[in-house]
Structure 1
Amino acid sequence: MSARSSAVQYDPHVDIDWESPWRSEQFALPQESVTLYGTRVWAKLAGSDQRTLALHEAVSRWSTVAYLSAILTGNQLRRVAEEGLNSSDSRNALDEVSKSSRTTITFGRLVRATDLAPYKPPRGTATAVKLLSFLPLGAASHASMLLVEETFARTMAAAVTDPGIEPHVRQAVRIHRFECDERFEFARSEVLAAQRKSNRISRAYNRLLLAVLANVILRLGVSFEVYRSIGIGPMRGALISRRRRAAIRRRDAAATVAFLDSAGMLDGAVTAALWRLTGVVQSDERQ
């Protein structure tokens, strides 16, 4: 048994009290992560509407991370199929499968507990997202996991210590974070190892692929449809939240992007231009 697989693991089916009622008088998302927080529209909303919007944005985020984690799990199963069952890489891949599955189950069950329908990826992006299933088993594969789960973890991080957060959410985030540090450290080591092992053409291909996917992944967090829950049209909500969304995206992706940059995953003129389109990398940061 590897050191990674011997760590204490949680069970999302029993470590959260799913039988207790959902407490709608509390927030499902840290207020600083709500896309209208700090705007004049937010200040004018009644407390109940603020909580309603936060709930719908939380469900949108949970739906997205559960969906993307399930897709990325397929890459780890491909690794096992290609390398066999007895290699250390295969054992680590299976360990990642179990942990990604717990992420999908945890936040899928959170969505169910709210009695809201999951939010689906916007039209036109679903096909692009499905390309994650065909990622080459290199640096882009592990870097994509960081973009999906590490940025999400930072969005939800404040929920653990915020007494105003709904108890199901607080517990789900707590147990998810329990193993996150180890998983993210492993993903980083895999990115670095893949960079060292690959040739110049392979590195360029992985950089370009990741930059394209980043423009999809980093914009999928919150559906514009959430604004209907408080009587605001999606287009108006998108315009009002534009700056706030960009600020949240930069905040949550900062550590991941800094690592990817240090690993050489942002090198190259085309790659750098694509990353600037995400809004998480400024022009002067790549000079």
Structure 2
Amino acid sequence: MASSTVRPEAHEPHEHEVARRLLDSAARLAYDPATEVDWETPLDKDFHGASPEWSTLYGTAYWGELTDAQRKELTRQEAASVASTGIWFEMILQQMVLRDIYAKDPTGADVQWALTEIAEECRHSIMFARGAQKLGAPAYRPRRLAVELGRAFKTVAFGEAAYAAILVAEEVLDVMQRDWMRDERVVPFVRTINNIHVVEESRHMKFARAETRRHLLGAGRIRRHIHAFAIAVASYVIVSSMVNKDVYANAGLDGERAIAEAKANEHHKSMMRSSCSGLMDFLASARLLTRPALVFYKRAHLI
């Protein structure tokens, strides 16, 4: 019992040091999407909304039948759906972080960093909303079951369950957006949005990793297994919600056929697995890849 109470306290200076470095980084490099993103120039439909290789239909027979204009419209709808999912999860993230720092010392670097992160997430959500609107997409929302599971998760998740789930959502988006922001086929304002998000989310991911490790210091075997399962289920819900099924009909495609081919698309599954190798390595090092958890990561094609 003595060691489990001492170890987190011994780790506390490192926790504050990470937060101080992140605060310094935010002071040096932060963006205001309201002025950094070109909101005024009309949408140029000669561009994609995301790298075509990341489309859920890329590599399928249906993709081969689409015109160039249809492919570009599909990637714009898919990018808007990913952005809308990002808003949904950022709202969950903000509530979990606020709950974690509630009643803590506000003069501490860790609380001040958490508030800084929440401020950045608020700006990101507005940025994503305006970006989706400019792409000519509706307000995509996750299915009702996902919304209600998210509502429950944000209410009960704590410690490593909360921060590791945050990390999963951020890491998956990060890998996609690093490709999109460098791709000259992607419409310029979306590339700017992706660049802003990648830069600022790198700080959030560093904090989430540090907090996950810190909370796991005092975790016993049962708690670790329960939270590993909860993180995996949350990850599956997040990833499976990224591309709304309505994107295909809204892009002018045969929705039923598109959904079937996207579901069987091995190229997209491979892209997801390869992009998440670093994330899975981290979860493995934290001993959060239990057998029950692996079932959901495999279903989400993250491993």
Question: What TM-score results when the alignment is normalised by the length of structure 2?
Answer: 0.86
Which digits, 9 at most, give the CA deviation of each residue in 1:185-240, with x for residues without a partner?
Answer: 22111111111132333222211211221221121110111111344343321211
CA contact (8 A) 1:150 1:184 kept: yes
TM-superposed CA distance for 1:276, in Å, is 3.1
**Residue 90 of structure 2 corresponds to residue 90 of structure 1:** no
Tell me whether 69-78 or 270-279 shows the greater mean CA deviation: 270-279
**Residue 256 of structure 2 corresponds to residue 238 of structure 1:** no
By percentage of residues, which structure has more helix?
A: 2
TM-superposed CA distance for 1:95, in Å, is 2.2
Q: Tell me, what secondary structure is at the counterpart of 1:197? A: coil
2:172 equivalent in structure 1: 151
Q: Tell me, what secondary structure is at the counterpart of 1:119? A: coil
Correspondence 1:1-287 to 2 at 5 A = 2-7=20-25, 8-242=29-263, 243=265, 244-267=267-290, 269-281=291-303
1:284 equivalent in structure 2: none
User: C-alpha distance in 1, partners of 2:103/2:239?
Assistant: 30
* Cα RMSD (Å): 1.9
CA contact (8 A) 1:224 1:235 kept: no
Supply the AA of the counterpart residue of 1:218. Answer: V
Q: Which sections of structure 2, spanning at least 5 residues, go unmatched?
A: 1-18
Question: What TM-score results when the alignment is normalised by the length of structure 1?
Answer: 0.90
CA contact (8 A) 2:20 2:110 kept: no
Q: Which sections of structure 1, spanning at least 5 residues, go unmatched?
A: 282-287
User: C-alpha distance in 2, partners of 1:57/1:100?
Assistant: 21
Distance 1:108 1:46, change over 3 A: same
Distance 1:253 1:13, change over 3 A: same
Which digits, 9 at most, give the CA deviation of each residue in 1:3-29, with x for residues without a partner?
Answer: 322322111111112112211110110
Supply the AA of the counterpart residue of 2:20. Answer: S
How many equivalent residue pairs?
A: 280
Which digits, 9 at most, give the CA deviation of each residue in 1:244-278, with x for residues without a partner?
Answer: 442333233332122111211113x3333343333
User: C-alpha distance in 2, partners of 1:2/1:259?
Assistant: 23
Identity %: 25
Distance 1:80 1:150, change over 3 A: same
TM-superposed CA distance for 1:135, in Å, is 4.0
Q: Tell me, what secondary structure is at the counterpart of 1:218? A: helix
TM-superposed CA distance for 1:102, in Å, is 2.5
